[in-house]
Homo-oligomer: A and B are copies of this chain.
Amino acid sequence: MFSYKIDDNTELRLLEERHAEQVFALLVENRERHPELDKDFSLEDAQKKIKHDLALFAENKGLGVGIWHEGNLVGGVRYHEIDWSNRMTELGYWISGRFEGRGLVIKTCRVLIDRAFNELGLNRMVISCAAENQKSRAIPEKLGFKQEGILRQSEWLQDRFVDMMIYGLLANEWQTDKRL
C-alpha cells in the first residue's frame, strides 16, 4: 500500500512478510552474488530476515525496503540496527544481477540516507564492503562517503576471512543537492 516513488518505473516499499517469496526467489536467482548466505538458505530464512527488520523498524531501530522496478522486486536496501547513543547506522544493499548498472541502488541509498539525516536526525552513516569487491565499493564512493579505513580479516565469508573497507558519511557532508 505504502510506497515511495523514485522514478516513473521504480518505487520503494517497506518489506513485509508477504514479500518473502519474492525476496527468496530473487536471492536464489542471484545465488552467486550472496556468499554471505548459508548454503541451505530457505524461504523461512527469508521470512525471518524480513520479520527481523520489521521488528527493528517497530522499535525505531531499523528499516528494510525493497526496490520495485517495472512491477518486480529487484533488490533492497536496509539499515543495520541503529546505534542511537552514537546516532549512526550502517547501510546494506543488494540488487539482482539483471538490474545492476541502472543506478537503482544509488537512488535508493539516497532516500534512506535522507531519511536517516533529515527524518531521524542521525549524524553518521557507514557502509562497509569487502575490500576486494570493486562493484560494491563503487556505491559509497559515488554517494560521497569517505574511505576511513580497512579492517583486516574482519568478516568470515564462506571459507576465508576478508578485509572490510569502511566508508563514512557525516550529516554535515550530505548536501541537499545530492538528494533525489
Question: Which of A's residues lie within 8 Å of B, judged by CB?
Answer: 1-4, 12-14, 16-18, 51, 54-55, 57-60, 85-88, 111-112, 114-115, 119-120, 123-124, 126, 146, 148-156, 161, 166, 168, 170
Q: How many of these chains are in the complex?
A: 6
A60/B17 contact (C-beta < 8 A), A1-B119, A161-B123 known? yes
Q: Which residues of B contact A126 (CB under 8 A)?
A: 151, 154
Across the two chains, which residue of chain B brings its CB closest to A86? B156
User: Closest CB of chain B to A166's CB: distance in Å?
Assistant: 6
Q: Which residues of B contact A148 (CB under 8 A)?
A: 149-152
Looking at A1, A16, A148, which has the most chain B CB atoms within 10 Å of its CB?
A1
Q: Which residues of B contact A60 (CB under 8 A)?
A: 16-18
Across the two chains, which residue of chain B brings its CB closest to A121? B18
Across the two chains, which residue of chain B brings its CB closest to A151? B148
A59 to B18, CA, bound (A): 11
A150 to B150, CA, bound (A): 9
